[in-house]
Structure 1
Amino acid sequence: MESAKKGAEQQGHEVDVIDLEADGFDPVMHSADLIGFLKHKAQDDQAIDYIERVKLADHLILVFPIWWELMPAMMKGFIDKVIFPGETFDYTKDGTGMTSLLTNLKSTTIMTTMNTPKALYRWVFGDAIQRALIRGTFRKMGLKQVKWLSCNMVKKSSDAKRQQWLAQAEKIGAQA
C-alpha cells in the first residue's frame, strides 16, 4: 500500500487511505445494515463516511492478503457495507443488472498477497477473487477498468521478486 501511495503522491495525486483495522471498522452486517440494504440506505456511520470517500475517488486500490483462498472478513465487510445499493451502485429498471453510481471512478486495482501458487489458486481453488470480487462485484456493477496485482508464493519469494512487486505497486499508484 505504501508503494502505491508513494507513486500516486509523486505524480501529484491526492491520496485518501482507508485503514479498516486502524479505524476499528466493524465488518459485520447487523440487522439494521441488512434492513438498510433492502431500503437502499446505509445505516453504519463509518460505512457512510467510507461511501462518501469512495464516491470522490477516481481510482480505487484495495490491498489485502488472501486467507483460505478468499479475502479476509474485514475486506468482505467493507465490500458488503460500502458497495451498497442506492449509494455506489443501483439495479437496472428490469432488475436483471447493475449500474455503477461511482461517476468519478476511472479504474480499480486489487493488490493481494498469498502463499498459494497462482496456477493452483486458479485451477484447483477456483480463482475466488476473480470470480467474486472482480467479475461478481466490480464488473457486475459496470466497472470496466479492473486490474489485479497478485503477489503469490510470498513466503518463498526472493527479495528481488518482492522489490519487483513494490515497483509494480508504485507504478500502479503513479498511473492512478
Structure 2
Amino acid sequence: MHTLIVVSHPDTASLTHAIARQVATGIQAASMDATVEIADLAAEGFDPRWTHGDIARFTQAAPATPDVAAEQARLDRADALVLVYPVFWWSFPGLLKGWIDRVFTQGWAYEDDNAGGKIVKKLQRLKVHLVANGGADQGTMDRHGYRSAMTTQIDHGIFDFCGAPVLSSNVLLASDDGYPAAHLHTAEAIGRRIAGDMPSTSR
C-alpha cells in the first residue's frame, strides 16, 4: 500500500520535516508492503496562488493545469494521505492551504450535482491522517476552542466534504511532556498505526 506524506515547511531541518520523516519510518517499519513518498511542497516550488486556470477548471471550462494534474495523479496513486504541518493562525500554513485550494478541485475531489442539489463526494477511497505541531499550550487550545475549530474547518470542512475519511488527527504541542524528542516517538507510532489501517503484511 502506498502513502503520500505532504509536508509544508521551508526548512528541511525543522521539527515539521523531522516528524514527517518519522511518520514514514514508522509506516515502513510496520509493513513490508508499504511504500512512502514525501512531497515537500516548498522544495518542489508548488505555487499556492489561485489562478485563472484554476477558475477555468472550477467552472469546468478547461482541464486542470499541468501542475495541479500532476498533484492529482500523485494522490490517485496513494491509498493514504498524511499532512504534516506547523499550526499557523490555528490552521494550515498558506502553502498547504493553497495546495488544498488548487488540487482538491470540483470534478476531481467532489462534484456539484446541480440537478439534485447535492455534493457528490469523490474521495472515499483516500484515508487521511493529520499531524500538526504548534507552539501553544493545551490550556490555550482548550480555553479558546482552537482545537475544535481546526477540526471543524479541516477534518470536516475539507475532507468530509470530499468524502475522504480522517482516520487520525493529531496536534503535537510544545507544552507536551518530553518536547521535542517525544514528538518524534509519537510520529513513528502514528506511522505504525497508519500501516495498521491498511491491508498489508506486518513484520
Indicate the TM-score class for this superposition, using the shorter chain for normalisation. Answer: 0.7 to 0.9
* Counterpart residue type for residue 99 of structure 1: K
Contact 1:115/1:155 (<8 A) preserved: no
Match of 1:142 among 149, 158, 163: 163
1:9 matched residue in structure 2: 28
**Larger proportion of strand:** 2
Query: Which ranges of structure 2 fall in alignment gaps of 5 or more residues?
Result: 1-19, 199-203
Inter-CA distance 134–159: structure 2 relative to 1 (3 Å threshold): closer
By how many angstroms is 1:34 displaced?
1.7
By how many angstroms is 1:153 displaced?
2.5
Query: What TM-score do you get using the length of structure 2 for normalisation?
Result: 0.74
Query: Which ranges of structure 1 fall in alignment gaps of 5 or more residues?
Result: none
By how many angstroms is 1:13 displaced?
0.8
Deviations 1:62-112 (CA, angstroms, capped at 9, x unpaired):
111101212101100110111111112223452333412x3642x210100
Percent identity over paired residues: 20
Q: Where do 1:21-40 residues align within 5 Å?
A: 21-39=42-60
Inter-CA distance 91–151: structure 2 relative to 1 (3 Å threshold): same
By how many angstroms is 1:162 displaced?
2.6
By how many angstroms is 1:155 displaced?
8.6
Query: What TM-score do you get using the length of structure 1 for normalisation?
Result: 0.84
1:89 aligns with 2:110: yes
Inter-CA distance 45–155: structure 2 relative to 1 (3 Å threshold): farther
The number of equivalent residue pairs is 174
Runs of 4+ in 1 over 6 A off after TM superposition: none
Instruction: Write the distance in 2 (CA, Å) between the matches of 1:42 and 1:134.
Output: 27
* Counterpart residue type for residue 140 of structure 2: L
Contact 1:64/1:112 (<8 A) preserved: yes
Instruction: Write the distance in 2 (CA, Å) between the matches of 1:170 and 1:110.
Output: 11
